[in-house]
Amino acid sequence: MIHKSNATVEINLAKLKQNLQTLRTYLDEDTRVMSVVKADAYGHGAVEVASTLEPMVEAFAVNDIHEGIELREQDITKPILVFEVPQKTTASQYRVHNLTATVSAREHFDWLPNGTSYHLNFDTGMGRLGFAPEDSKLVLSLMRENQNLFCTGLYSHFATADSPGSDFVTEQHRLFTTIREQFPQELSAHISNTGATAFYSSEQFDMVRLGIGLYGYSPGKTTIEGINPVLQWKSKLVQIKPIIEQSTVSYGATWEAPADGNLGIIPVGYDDGLKRSLSEELTVRINGKKYPLVGNITMNYTMVFLGDDEYKPGTSVELLYAESNAQDWASKIDTIPYEILTSINPKIPREYIL
């Protein structure tokens, strides 16, 4: 991959570990943790995140098989669960790379080669992947008929666990309990994501699947105390030029300078993941001082109004930082921090701080 040099993403690995420790305080001592590192660890870099967390967690999860292979090639040895639906064409890869498949339909038993490990997935209300709860007897017999495959777990996924007090979570929990009771006790059962771990802490089974909380964000509007964002996004001013009162900036000429002053050019735009809908919504930090982004964000550039302040080209600009984090960005454009984080272009180099 060709790396960009217009910006850097800083990942604080000490904060990552601290977040895991905070989330563990919600769990019983023997509850295991599966660290979810899909989507390149929500933009944080799956290999580095997994290597850092490997001594502290019991398993990993990724979305697709290629993400799992990448981790194996970088010497991650703990169990890796692949969430995606197995395909006939790639079914042989699970065993080759010692990855755990997700079985959620009858044909998967036929496609996976002898010796493949898998977890069963049940749809208890998410309305996405998984066997229907009423199929549990059939699934149990398929499991017994296919002794050549190794079932090691059983899971489901909550639809509304991002905030406390949801009856729908209670209902899904009840359904999953009923399913779980029909299967051998030695299978590892898991249903909780970050939200269920923090807001429904009596709901755990054998293991939880932690994603967003590890990266320092709460899944919904209710804040989880004691976790902090791991990622910061920085760039540099490439140019500074005088701007006179009432002259306009960027496409559409939507922004007019309120006074004479200086305009800074930042070489980051929506191609980098700085969403265009955030135009005129953000403040960046330069030398500890906040300045507004002005005019429409373009594909590769964004402008900042500096007032009377003068800076040299090359001055560092903080785009995404503690007081203007992915949750703040998300609230402005009606999305969630997950989408902000995974939108940051993977070509921007990640720098790791211990």
Ligand X SMILES: *Cc1c(COP(=O)(O)O)cnc(C)c1O
Q: Which residues are catalytic?
A: 38, 251
| C-beta of 83 vs 311, nearer to ligand X | 83
* 232: amino acid identity, one letter: Q
Q: Does 219 bind ligand X (CB under 6 A)?
A: yes
Residue 63 CA: distances (Å) to CA of 89, 101, 210: 17, 10, 14
Residues 274-303 within binding reach of ligand X (CB under 6 A):
none
Q: Which stretch binds ligand X (CB under 6 A): 70-78, 207-215, 223-231, 307-315?
A: 207-215
Cα dihedral value 160, 166, 171, 172, nearest 10:
20
CB of 182 to ligand X, least distance (A): 21
When asked if residue 157 is in the footprint of ligand X (CB under 6 A), the reply is yes
Please count the residues of this chain forming the interface with ligand X, following the rule CB under 6 A.
Answer: 13
Q: Which is nearer to ligand X, 193 or 232 (CB)?
A: 193
Segment interacting with ligand X (CB under 6 A) among 25-33, 192-200, 259-267, 294-302: 192-200
**Residue 2 CB, nearest approach to ligand X (Å):** 29
* Listed ranges 137-145, 188-196, 253-261, 326-334: which one lies at the site for ligand X (CB under 6 A): 188-196
Write the DSSP assignment of 14-31 as a string of letters. Answer: HHHHHHHHHHHTTS-TT-
Q: How far is the CB of 156 from ligand X (least distance, A)?
A: 9
Strand order in the sheet with 302-307: 239-243, 261-266, 302-307, 289-294, 283-286, 316-320, 231-236, 7-12, 350-353
> Rounded to whole angstroms, how far apart are CA atoms 326 and 16?
16
The verdict on 209 binding ligand X (CB under 6 A) reads: yes
Kindly state the tokens that stand for 184.
């051998």
Nearest approach, Cβ of residue 339 and ligand X (Å):
12
Angle value at C-alpha 326, between 316 and 67, nearest 5 degrees: 100
Interface residues for ligand X in 75-114 (CB under 6 A)?
83
Q: Is 26 in the site for ligand X (CB under 6 A)?
A: no
CB of 83 to ligand X, least distance (A): 5
Distance, CA of 23 to CA of 142 (rounded, Å): 36
Amino acid of residue 218: S
Is 340 strand, coil or helix?
Answer: helix
Give the separation between CA 354 and CA 349, rounded to whole angstroms. Answer: 16
34, 46, 126, 297 from 39: Cα distances, Å: 15, 8, 20, 25
The CB-of-75 to ligand X minimum distance in angstroms stands at: 24
173 lies in the site for ligand X, by CB under 6 A: no
- The answer to whether the beta carbons of residues 45 and 11 sit under 8 Å apart is yes
For ligand X, the binding residues in 34-63 under the rule CB under 6 A are: 36, 38
Q: Which is nearer to ligand X, 42 or 291 (CB)?
A: 42
Residues that bind ligand X (CB under 6 A): 36, 38, 83, 157, 193-195, 209-213, 219
